[in-house]
Amino acid sequence: MGKEFDTGLMWFRRDLRTDDNAALYHALKRCNKVHCVFVFDKEILDALPRADRRVEFIRESLVELDMSIRELAKNKNAGLIIQHAWASDELPKLAQELKVQAVFTNHDYEPQAVHRDAVVLGKLAGLGIAFHTFKDHVIFERTEVLTQMGKPYGVFTPYKNACLKKLNDFYLKPYPVEKYTSSLTERPISYQRSVPTLAEIGFEATNLATLKIPTGMSGGRTLFEDFFDRMDDYHATRDFPAVKGPSYLGVHLRFGTVSIRKLAATAHQRTIVGSQGAAVWLSELIWRDFYFQILSNFPHAATGAFKPEYDAIKWEQGEHAKKLFTAWCEGKTGYPLVDAAMAQINQTGYMHNRLRMVVASFLVKDLGIDWRWGERYFAEHLNDFDQSANNGGWQWASSSGCDAQPYFRIFNPTSQSEKFDSEGKFIRKYLPQLSKLPNSAIHEPWDTKPIELQAANVTLGDSYPYPVVNHAQAREKTLLRYAVVKRH
């Protein structure tokens, strides 16, 4: 029986793997011949800093993806067609040039991507080329999980319960790509070139290799295998930044070098046999889905508060606000845990999840800065930046989002430090100027005896800043600032 299409085009985006890839599976199964393409999309890349770890991560992952395609095809002239252009222009042009009848790709839920895909759909339709898209990046998407009233969820716990009730082998089953790899075909001679260097697409090398962040499918696999041995303890270790507790798979989930189905299936199996750590980690994966469906079903949350009444809050403005924000960005607030966390993101592009909550709360509720300022900073600096999770996390911290912490819940940066980095190991790693302070002083240098500061070679206002705000006073100011919400 003949296949539906003679020639198809698989468009890789944030799914940089050959195993368990929904769109690749459907392309191979439904087409006699399949070309594979990745576009370094200028619409996205032109706005980024020239030294961006994410671009280098993608580039290194593409080298492995290209090799994997050639190995599966058993043909060195197969592999990726890689372009550097506006994807909305290049895809229809390439599809026409390759004489394909259909383009296959996986869903991307961010507003800019949704708009791009609508443009591509229109152009392909005008050329008589089909455009097929599939769920691959999440377990459940869009309106797959609804309330009994048929409405999208705005509260996490009932959403999670509904997901767990619905979760079964159908949603976790991998796509057997390997069965159909004979459809992978040679690239035209003009496209048989290697993955471009960073310089060739206008970027510079970063410290990605120095940080030893593993890339590609093999990197994701290595990290997951390492985490599997620690998964059962995840619930007990995940909140302590000096402990190896997290999976560190965020950037691999972001760019799809690991399969969400494989991760969720493993966590689900471990949960069934009673692993508390696996249950908590599965819950974190469901949080990720939750924020994706929020962005899909409540698009206003992408630019404003999920709860519109919170847009009435008056944030700090002017030069004073800019100085406070700069101090936060540079890790010079005078609160060691906050400053160490900002040093971590600035140096590595990663920030521990507990610390993301601490620094976000500090920016919004101690400094009185609009949460969108912090959201933009994270968007530029996080290796694993995902608009849905970033937006959801910042709105959670600012109490303006779905299922957010109450506005009167304000993290105390000192008590958070004492609780989650009691021995100051994390602080000392990222703030070496405080490394000689005793544990009793490292959380509050400003409240330390001068003789102790002198012994540790710490000079407040010089080697380490005084606090930019008094937390107790800032807390009272925040409660007044948020009082406007109660009047709505």
Enzyme catalytic residues? 284, 287, 315, 353, 371, 394
- Whether the Cβ atoms of residue 180 and residue 69 lie closer than 8 Å to each other: no
Exposed, middle or buried: residue 473 (CB in 10 Å: 0-12, 13-18, 19+)? exposed
Structure tokens belonging to residue 444: 């509050």
- Whether the Cβ atoms of residue 143 and residue 112 lie closer than 8 Å to each other: no
Dist. CA 212–CA 214, nearest whole Å:
6
- Whether the Cβ atoms of residue 104 and residue 8 lie closer than 8 Å to each other: yes
List strand residue ranges (DSSP E) for 222-370, in order: none
Find the Cα–Cα–Cα–Cα dihedral 277, 292, 168, 107, rounded to 10°.
Answer: -130
Dist. CA 487–CA 475, nearest whole Å:
19
For 276, the enclosing helix (H) or strand (E) is: helix 276-297
Q: Which long-range contacts (CB under 8 A, 24 or more apart) does 470-474 make?
A: 471/335, 471/366, 471/412, 471/413, 471/414, 474/365, 474/366, 474/367, 474/368
- Residues facing residue 41 across a β-bridge: 85
Dist. CA 240–CA 353, nearest whole Å:
9
Sign of CA dihedral 223, 228, 230, 232: positive
**Residue 7, helix vs strand vs coil:** strand
Output the CA–CA distances (angstroms, integers) from residue 415 to 3, 25, 369, 412, 444, in the order listed. Answer: 63, 50, 21, 5, 10
Dist. CA 3–CA 273, nearest whole Å:
42
Phi, psi (degrees; rounded to nearest 5) at 37: -135, 145
Sign of CA dihedral 357, 56, 68, 229: negative
Exposed, middle or buried: residue 423 (CB in 10 Å: 0-12, 13-18, 19+)? exposed
